[in-house]
Each structure stands twice: as structure tokens, then as C-alpha cells.
Amino acid sequence: MKLAVRLVDIAARGVLLHQQDAKTLGVFPGDRVVITNLSTGFSIADYVETTSTLIKQGKLGIYHQSNEQLQVKDGESVEVRVSDRPVSLDYIRKKMEGERLSREEIKMIVTDIVHDNLSPSEITAFVICSYINNLDIDEIESLTRSMVETGDRLEFHTGPIVDKHSIGGVPGNKITFLVVPIIAAAGLLIPKTSSRAITGAGGSADLMEVLAPVEFSAAEVQQMTQKAGGVIVWGGATNIAPADDKIIIQEYPFKIDQIGQMIASVMAKKFAVGADVVAIDIPVGKNCKVHSIPEGRKLAQSFIEIGDRLGMRVECALTYGDAPVGRAIGPALEVKEALAILEGSESPNSLIEKSTEIAGIALELAGKANRGEGSALALDLLKSGKALKKMKDIIAIQGGNPEITSDLVKLGEFFHIVKAERDGYVVDLNNKSLITIARVAGAPNDHGAGLYIHAKPGTRLKRGDPIFTLYAERKWRLEKALETARTLRPVIVEGMLMDRVPNQREWLPSKQRNNGVE
């Protein structure tokens, strides 16, 4: 059926049909149709909503996000037909039955995900059955390759190309802002694509946005990397491994992170940017994705195996994940902390040490340092100011202001210092609670929101000493975050006497006790 387009200002995917046209087409609200742009031949699949007044008969309302892909103009004609059932549903069903999927079957599922031929519910089904029945190493390889093949790729003609990845779970992990300029300062290329936070207080892309734009096409990423040596961009804007975001978002409600999908997600992005060597940071800790060293080693082996199959040299570092890296949590606070180190600050040491270790692994893999000497080279590049210079090149090439310094980074104008209510020691920081509080304060969308930890575990505090400062861009958010902090108590301060075990025996007054003796 041919219909005339009416662009509808609703920020969502979807199309709006007049009831009568829906009836003629034989579709109901919620059914899926295929819409073809007649000038380009490009088609998208989308869900129908119906109306009897907002759209006239003969017209097709197209919502904003759908038209970002379809690219039609008001009044233009499009062809609309009922969507066929995607064959990949049968492959998802097969996985539900516990069978292994072939490379072709996985490719079809990923292709349908990328082309929006599968609904969010249908992608959820794929996620859940992969989670329950697991993906074996061949399936992970297929998934990785399919994610690469269904998106854009970078092709550099020099090498080696370096990449790094942290699998997440630990707050304040801004090491990308040190590792990328260090690698670039060593004369290597590092086209780093990053994510935005889903559950965290800020992904590297959210952080970089404090300094410069982060949305670029794959071709732009390639050109910028060639010029500046490195970039820090948002992967979601590049069309690199575009299936990944659509899969991850379905895992979020259940707080699951299917190992095979995580490996494929990471490795597909590395492969698609043309990486030759990859350093992977696996934080281990009770609130991290990986809870023990043996578990971390097993995961590392899988990363290395997939790397080998795809021709990438991978090395993994298991890192301490029980406390935040550095002291800052939230985009502007973290960027300020990282910039200060590039400018020469010697603290926080945890951040410097972790960043140079990970950068060191990459430098060794890329042949810039002998085994065991990479982190020293990384520290040199940092101390010499070469990494700071590269960071400014990167900020400039992405369109930011290279004159920025850590002092100029703008934090939220509303803040409150949370103080110790008693003398004692900081005995525990709860990572999850810290992240929750930062999010309530507005992070990552309000860049200036977050918290700065004054007292890390082991610190001796007197009553009234600052524990952490909470920042927000809006007053009501600061108040709400403070309320949350009061409930969650993310930092536990205890005296040396941590508990008192009472004697349960019956107590008698001395007279009675001594009765008969005296």
C-alpha cells in the first residue's frame, strides 16, 4: 500500500496509521510493517499505532527515531506492507531447545537485530536463552564475527593498532583518560570507542563529553586517529558493531551480563576498529562482574582464545576492584582528576598505578617495550608531559578546547560535604551505593554531578572530618541524593571497638554473690 508521509514529532520508533488504512492492510496496533523509502529503496520494519483523528486516511505518520533511519520527507510517498515473520525466530527457538547455533544462524539473528526485524521482546528471548543455555566458544566467535560484519569497520594501513577495554563494575575507572594519551604519546594509534553508562555513574563516552564532542562516524574516527594518534569517542554513534547496544539494553532489567555476549561485544568492537593488540582490564572484587581470581583467569582465557581466532594479540590484567579507582565518581569530577594527573599531580596513586600497568601491557604487546618494562615506559610518557600534550591533541581533533586544565573543569554548583558523625576508621566503601548516590545526584546526564571521596578505607577520622563531597547541578537532586546517602550509608566509619559482646549470664548483686562466703 502506498501512503503519503507525515512526520510526527514523537521521539520514539513507530508509525501511525489511520484505523481505516490499518484495516485495509489487515494490521492491528502492535503489528509490524515494513516501510520502504521509494527514492532510496531503503526499508525499515516498525510497529504500528493507529488513530482515527491525528492522521488522515492515505497518510502514514512516522516518528522521529524511525525517520532517522528511513530519511523521508513530509508528503513523500512510501510503500507499506505487512512484515513477514523473521526466520531468525526459529533459530532463537532452537537455542531455547538447548541446541548449538551455526555461524549462519547467528549471523541471521544479528542481521535481524541490526535491521530492527526483531522486537525488543524477541531480542530479550535471544539474550535469555543464551544466558540459560550458554554460548560455546564457536558460538561466541560467530557472534563476534556477525557483529563486526553487520557494521562499519576501520582500516588502517599502518600498525600495530592498539586498543584497551575495562569490563566494568568498579566506579571511578577513568583510566582510559590516561591510557589513550600514553599510547598515542608512544607513537602508536589507539582509536578508542567507549560506551555511555547504563548502570554506572559515567561511561568513558559520558566523561569525554565534558571535554569535547564524542559522536562521530567510523570514517571520522579513522581520520582523527590517524592525525592525533588516538580518540575517545562514543561507540554508539559510529555504527561499529551496532547489534551490541540493542542486545545489552535487554540485559539491563535483569542485571545479567551473559559471558559469551560480553566477550563478543568487546572483541567485535576491537576487531572492527582494526586492533592488532588489545589489553583487557578485568576488575575482580565482591561487587564486580568477576568475583574471584580463578573466575577472572577463565574469562581471560576466553578473551585470549577469541583474540587468537580473529588474529588479535590479547592480554588481560586482573585488577583490584573492591574500591573505587581514584577518589572521583561522576563525569566532570573524574575528568578533573585524570587531567590533574596528566598535568603532573602525584595522586591518587591507585589511578596512576592502574593506568600505567594497563598501558604498559599494551606497549609490550605492540613491541614498544620489553616484557616487564612497559609500565615504566608508560610512567615516563606520563611524567614527561608527552601524554598531556597528546590529550590536548585528542581534545582538539574532536572539536573541544585544548586550553582546558583540571582547574577549569566545571563541577555542579550545588554541593554538600558529608562528615563523620563519630571518631573512627573507614572500614568499608560500598561501590554500588556510591554509584546509586551519584546517579540520584544526576550523573551521568548532569555532567557536574557526582561525589568526591575524601576518606578511603583505612583512613582515621575524627568526628566532623569530611568523608565525601556530593555535587549536583540541581538543588532538588542534591537533596534527594543526600537523602539516599543517609539511607544507604555508603561509607562505614567504626571505632576500633567494632562490637561489644555482652555476657549473657545472670548477674547478681555482690551481696548475694558473696552470700555464705563472707
Residue type, 81: R
For residues 291 and 285, is the Cβ–Cβ distance under 8 A?
yes
Looking at 52, 349, 384, 515, which residue binds a second copy (CB under 8 A)?
A: 52
Q: Is 265 annotated as a binding residue?
A: yes
Given 31, 152, 257, 465, which residue is catalytic? 257
Which string of DSSP letters, residue by residue, matches 403-443?
T--GGGPPPPSEEEEEE-SSSEEEEEE-HHHHHHHHHHTTT
Contacting range for a second copy; rule: CB under 8 A; set: 45-53, 136-144, 311-319, 386-394: 45-53
Here the cell at position 156 is: 588502517
Map grid coordinates 598515542 to a residue: 184
Q: Is 269 annotated as a binding residue?
A: no
Looking at 54, 198, 219, 417, which residue binds a second copy (CB under 8 A)?
A: 54
Looking at 6, 131, 285, 310, which residue binds a second copy (CB under 8 A)?
A: 131
Residue 38 in contact with a second copy, rule: CB under 8 A: no
Query: Least distance from C-beta 245 to a second copy, angstroms?
Result: 12
d(CA 488, CA 433): 6
Looking at 77, 111, 119, 134, which residue binds a second copy (CB under 8 A)?
A: 119
Residue type, 314: V
Residue 456: exposure state from Cβ atoms within 10 A (0-12, 13-18, ≥19): middle
Map grid coordinates 600498525 to a residue: 159
Closest residue by Cα to residue 19 from 51, 46, 56, 43: 51
Query: Least distance from C-beta 63 to a second copy, angstroms?
Result: 8
Residue 87 in contact with a second copy, rule: CB under 8 A: no
Examine the residue annotation and report whether 257 is marked as an active-site residue of this protein. Answer: yes
Looking at 69, 102, 133, 345, which residue binds a second copy (CB under 8 A)?
A: 133
d(CA 468, CA 480): 16
Looking at 62, 72, 101, 125, which residue binds a second copy (CB under 8 A)?
A: 125
Contacting range for a second copy; rule: CB under 8 A; set: 249-257, 349-357, 364-372, 405-413: 249-257
Site for a second copy in 351-410 (CB under 8 A): none
> HEC string of 49-90?
EEECCCCCCCEEEEEHHHHHHHCCCCCCEEEEEECCCCCHHH
Query: Least distance from C-beta 31 to a second copy, angstroms?
Result: 11
Looking at 2, 20, 29, 413, which residue binds a second copy (CB under 8 A)?
A: 29
Query: Least distance from C-beta 45 to a second copy, angstroms?
Result: 13
Site for a second copy in 170-229 (CB under 8 A): none
Residues in binding contact with a second copy, number by CB under 8 A: 44
Looking at residue 100, the DSSP 8-state letter turns out to be P
Residue 182 or 247 with smaller CB distance to a second copy? 247
Q: How far is CA 311 from the centre of its chain?
A: 25
Q: Can you give the C-alpha Rg of the chain in angstroms?
A: 27
Query: Least distance from C-beta 250 to a second copy, angstroms?
Result: 6
Residue 261 in contact with a second copy, rule: CB under 8 A: no
First to last CA, the chain: 109
Map grid coordinates 529503496 to a residue: 41
Residue 404 backbone zone (phi > 0: left; psi -120 to 50: alpha; other: beta): beta
Count of beta carbons in the 10 Å neighbourhood of residue 71 = 12
> Contact residues for a second copy (CB under 8 A)?
8-12, 16, 19, 26, 29-30, 49-54, 63, 65, 85, 89, 92-93, 96, 98, 119-125, 128-129, 131-133, 250, 253-256, 442, 445, 477
Which amino acids are annotated catalytic?
257
Detail the residues annotated as belonging to a binding site: 169, 195-200, 265, 289
